[in-house]
Chain A
């Protein structure tokens, strides 16, 4: 090809204008090219407005068709469908389409509204925000803001204040602890051991020899919750007492008639007194300590008593069982001393509710036991006097004098003779029992026997081992003239001494019957004495008087007494015999002249013999009028006295 000369080929573009027709002469008539507007119209014609733009349901179908029938791909419609986004004037089309839609909607709405069947159009309410109120509104907002600022400042201040108050309280509590501790120190012995503060509950400094250490611990109670309300009885100082001294205790002393079953011993009297209702919260340390100290003292008393009960040899041995000491002061009588210690736990409180029998508790003896142990303490304190000269050993002064003054055995043993607590309390119990029984005897006699009356005047102030009562026997209405029997009863430990008005002294034993018999015989004597006194007042003469008649039936109690009185003119005589058991027998002697039934003897012919006394006749005393013996006697005397 290289040898061939290059041929110039001119290439010209195809005819710009479409050939409309080729004439027979070959001339071509060209179609005039489309003007711009024509072109636009042509393009616009090609737009299919009914075709949904981008509607997806059409796309796959059309695509599938496109792929299935590629022959049709040349089809112009198919081409357009296939590239919807390539439509000419696509945006114009879209806008127009949406405008159409809007118009359609508007049309629908208008038609509906026009109908006024389904929808009406109302003017929309204007937002009520008048321009006039605006300044006030602004003011309000600004005020609100400033107020909020002020409140915040106040709140901050309040918080700071409350914080400082709490701090102050904390400090105060600290100070309170110290001041409480100071107060504690004024009443109790304290010492510091390590970082603990220990106190002494025991009575050792008062002379007690009890071995219990009696130590309590002082606790600082300052760490309580600050947020919570502080209870009113809050105290920054608390004490911890030994567990065996907790609760409350007392010594129960009682006298019982019969010995209970031995199986009951020691448990009967436990926990009898119910706990006093304690206020909620912990009690103050002072009360706590005092209670604990009381428990300690009770324990000491009981320990001392039990020790003595075991040591002392008595005819009837004392029994110590558990918390009870039993002794027999008199036959058939038992004195029981028990230590009742109730702790705070529920169990003991439950048992406290049963078997309440407080009346046999002798409070006097309980009190006296406390007094005795304190005396004991005092003795131990006072016995340990300082030696003089100072180099001498400790000890009792009299013991030290024993050598130089050559004491004999009796002197020395008298130094050591020391009545124990138990002996003392038994003596006191005996006395109390004897006094009670005497009172009961007198009272029962007074209520049983109305005539004569018996009055007892007890002295208010007694010794622990002796008390006295004055017994008066009178007749009602005649107290002034019948004062013959006045007895002074001195009640001791084992016996009763009776001092008569005339100075006679009679000693009665502790037996109840003796006193009763004695009083009965005194009452019977009283009646005769009363007749004697009455005779004096009525002007009768006492012919004979005897306190102890040797004649007649024998009385089981004492002796009968008798009196014979004669009327003022001597015509009548009344003879009374009164025995404690047989009662009274009253006889009246009539003058001989009044006795019709007397056989006229031959011997006494003369008139003067009529002045002789006649026979006695017994008065049916229970049929006599009068409320008591002396009154009846007065009536009788009055009846026999001529006017």
Chain B
């Protein structure tokens, strides 16, 4: 088999070299309302919005040990929005001075025949899920509070069941590489959400 057409290295240079700064936490269903109330007060003065997304994770296995992962996501509750294709690099925990998890990220808006295209390229669907929740914004920070639903039948987004009795809380900022100062803002914001929810740097590798 030939070498995969995609390199493992993310594209660098230009405006594409963006980093995602991420803090994560979790909150039980019964405490959701108070967290939303708090977020409405803290975040920018916008109508609170809900979302219902369907995310599919594609893998491309090459000669390298770890597969190449792409995430394709689409909005189920809004029509006319483009699909979102996302590449996320390896997360770096960093030292104590950096208050957020940092990973390379590439965001692309695509048309709706993305899945076909990816399959043609040799990707295969690893897993898929639905995410339903609320999204807030404060400046360049995005706060997502959502619940992950398992899709019972592959490809059928109608039949789902919640994965857990809690909501995932994510605070993320996409910024050009090297702007670690945004993590300070994130830490400050996360401080204000305590003790409702503790947002922390969570290393996904340790959970596996």
Residues of A within 8 A of B (CB): 205-206, 381, 384, 386-394, 397, 400-401, 403-405
> Is B53 a contact partner of A389 (Cβ separation < 8 A)?
yes
Say which residue of A381, A391, A397 sits within 8 Å of B84 (CB atoms): A391
B184 part of interface (Cβ distance < 8 Å)? no
Provide the bound-state CA to CA distance between A581 and B141, in Å: 73
Distance in angstroms from B201 CB to nearest chain A CB is 19
- Set B44, B73, B108, B140: member contacting A389, Cβ < 8 A: B73
- Report which of A381, A384, A397, A403 forms a contact with B108, defined as CB distance below 8 A: A403
Given contacts A400-B82, A403-B108, contact A391 B53 (CB under 8 A): yes
- Complex CA–CA separation, A206 to B46 (angstroms): 9
Q: Which of A384, A392, A397, A401 contacts B137 (CB 8 A)?
A: A384
Instruction: List 9 A-B pairs, minimum CB-CB distance, nearest first.
Output: A388-B75, A404-B111, A389-B53, A389-B73, A205-B45, A392-B84, A400-B109, A390-B51, A386-B49
- B131 near A394 with CB under 8 A, answer no
B140 contact set on A, CB distance < 8 A = 394
Q: Which residues of B contact A (CB under 8 A)?
A: 44-46, 49, 51, 53-55, 71, 73-75, 77-78, 81-84, 86, 107-111, 131, 133, 135, 137, 140, 142, 144, 146, 174
For the complex with contacts A389-B55, A389-B74, 9 further pairs of A-B residues with Cβ separation under 8 Å are: A205-B44, A205-B45, A387-B135, A389-B54, A389-B73, A392-B107, A393-B174, A394-B142, A401-B82
Q: Which of B78, B111, B137, B142 contacts A388 (CB 8 A)?
A: B78
- Docked CA distance A272–B51 (Å): 54
A394, B82: Cβ atoms under 8 Å? no
Residue of B nearest to A386 (CB): B49
Tell me whether A394 and B137 are in contact in the complex, defined as CB-CB below 8 angstroms, given that A388-B78, A389-B51 are known contacts.
yes
Query: In the complex, what residues of B have CB within 8 A of residue A384's CB?
Result: 46, 137
| A386 adjacent to B51 (CB under 8 Å) | yes
Question: B53: nearest residue on chain A (CB-CB)?
Answer: A389
A389 with B75: CB separation less than 8 A: yes
Question: Are B109 and A404 in touch, CB under 8 angstroms?
Answer: yes
Q: B81 is contacted by which of A205, A381, A397 (Cβ under 8 Å)?
A: A397
Closest-by-CB residue of B relative to A384 is B137
Contact B84 A389 (CB under 8 A): yes
A509 to B175 CA separation, bound complex (whole angstroms): 52
Q: What are 18 contact pairs spanning A and B, CB under 8 A? A: A205-B45, A386-B51, A386-B135, A387-B84, A389-B74, A389-B83, A391-B53, A391-B107, A392-B73, A392-B84, A392-B107, A392-B109, A394-B137, A394-B140, A403-B82, A403-B109, A404-B109, A405-B111
When distances are taken between beta carbons in the complex, the residues of chain B under 8 Å from A390 are: 51, 53, 75, 131, 133, 135, 142, 144, 146
B137→A389 contact, CB < 8 A: no
Bound state CA distance, A275 and B50, in angstroms?
A: 50
Cα–Cα, bound, A394→B77 (Å): 18
Find out whether the CB atom of A388 lies under 8 angstroms from the CB atom of B51: yes
Contact status B107-A393, CB under 8 Å: yes
- By the criterion CB–CB under 8 Å, are B51 and A403 in contact? no
**Smallest Cβ-Cβ distance to A392: which chain B residue:** B84
Nearest residue (CB) in B for A207 is B45
Contact B82 A404 (CB under 8 A): yes
Inter-chain contacts of B81 with A (CB < 8 A): 388-389, 397, 400
User: Given the complex, which residues of A lie within 8 Å of B111, measured CB to CB?
Assistant: 404-405
Q: Hey, which chain A residues are within 8 Å of B107, CB to CB? A: 391-393
Instruction: Verify A386–B109 contact, CB threshold 8 A.
Output: no
**In the bound complex, what is the Cα–Cα distance between A40 and B51 (angstroms)?**
149
Distance (whole angstroms) from the CB of B144 to the closest CB of chain A: 5
Closest to B45 in A: A205
In the complex the two chains form, is B46's CB within 8 Å of A381's CB?
yes
Residues of A within 8 A of B110 (CB): 403-404
Contacting residues, chain A, for B131 (C-beta < 8 A): 390
Contacts of B108 in A (CB 8 A): 403
Closest chain A residue to B74 by CB distance? A389
Cβ–Cβ < 8 Å partners of B133 in chain A: 390
Write out the residue numbers on chain B whose beta carbons fall within 8 Å of the beta carbon of A405.
111
Kindly name the residue among A384, A404, A405 whose own CB sees the greatest number of chain B CB atoms within 10 A: A404
- Residues from chain A with a CB closer than 8 A to the CB of B142 are 390, 394
State the CA gap A467–B15 with chains docked (Å).
Answer: 48
CB A206 to nearest CB in B, in angstroms, measures 7
Q: Taking CB as reference atom, which chain A residue is nearest B76?
A: A389
Inside 8 A of B77's CB, which chain A residues have their CB? 388
- Residues from chain A with Cβ under 8 Å of B144 in the complex: 390-391
Q: Give bound CA distance, A398 to B78, whole Å.
A: 14
A404 contacts which chain B residues (CB < 8 A)?
82-83, 109-111
Complex interface: chain B residues within 8 A of A397 (CB): 81
Asked if A206 contacts B75 (CB within 8 A), the reply is: no
Taking CB atoms, residues of chain B closer than 8 Å to A389 are 51, 53-55, 73-75, 81, 83-84
Instruction: State the Cβ distance, A582 to closest chain B Cβ, in Å.
Output: 68
Q: Is B46 a contact of A386 with CB atoms below 8 Å? A: yes
Q: Which residues of B contact A401 (CB under 8 A)?
A: 82, 109
Q: A361 → chain B, closest Cβ, in Å?
A: 34
Residue of B nearest to A395 (CB): B109
**CA A401 to CA B81, docked complex, whole Å:** 7
Contacts of B49 in A (CB 8 A): 386
- Once the chains are docked, how many angstroms separate the CA of A590 from the CA of B24? 108
Shortest CB-to-CB span from A407 to chain B, Å, is: 11
| C-alpha spacing A397/B46, complex, angstroms | 16
Closest CB-CB distance, A95 to chain B, in whole Å? 113
Q: How far is the CA of A278 from the CA of B81 in the complex (A)?
A: 56
Chain B: minimal CB distance from A182 (Å)? 16
CB neighbours of B53 from chain A (8 A):
388-391
Residue of A with least CB distance to B136: A386
User: Roughly how many angstroms separate A391 CA and B53 CA in the complex, as a whole number?
Assistant: 9
Residues of A within 8 A of B82 (CB): 400-401, 403-404
Query: Please, which residues of chain A bring their CB within 8 A of the CB of B137?
Result: 384, 386, 394
Residues of A within 8 A of B71 (CB): 391
Give bound CA distance, A393 to B173, whole Å.
9
* Cβ-closest chain B residue relative to A382: B46
Which B residues are in CB contact (< 8 Å) with A400?
A: 81-82, 109
CA distance A253 to B146 in the complex (A): 51
Partner of B86, one of A206, A386, A391: A391
User: Which of A381, A391, A392, A404 has most chain B Cβ within 10 Å?
Assistant: A391
CB distance from B103 to the nearest CB of A (A): 13
User: Cβ of B55: which chain A residues have Cβ within 8 Å of it?
Assistant: 389, 391
Give CA–CA (A389, B157) in the complex, Å. Answer: 15
Q: B73 contacts which of A206, A386, A391 (Cβ < 8 Å)? A: A391
Q: Nearest Cβ in chain B — how far from A386, in angstroms? A: 4
Q: Least Cβ distance of B127 to chain A in Å?
A: 16
| B144 nearest in chain A by CB position | A390
Name the distance in Å between A213's Cβ and chain B's nearest Cβ.
14
Residues in B whose Cβ lies below 8 Å from that of A206: 45
Residues of B within 8 A of A381 (CB): 45-46
Which residues of chain A come closer than 8 Å to B146, judged between CB atoms? 390
A406, closest chain B residue (CB): B111
Q: Complex Cα distance A404/B107, Å?
A: 13
**Which residues of chain A come closer than 8 Å to B45, judged between CB atoms?**
205-206, 381
B71 → A minimal CB distance (Å): 8
A389–B53 Cα gap in the complex (Å)?
6
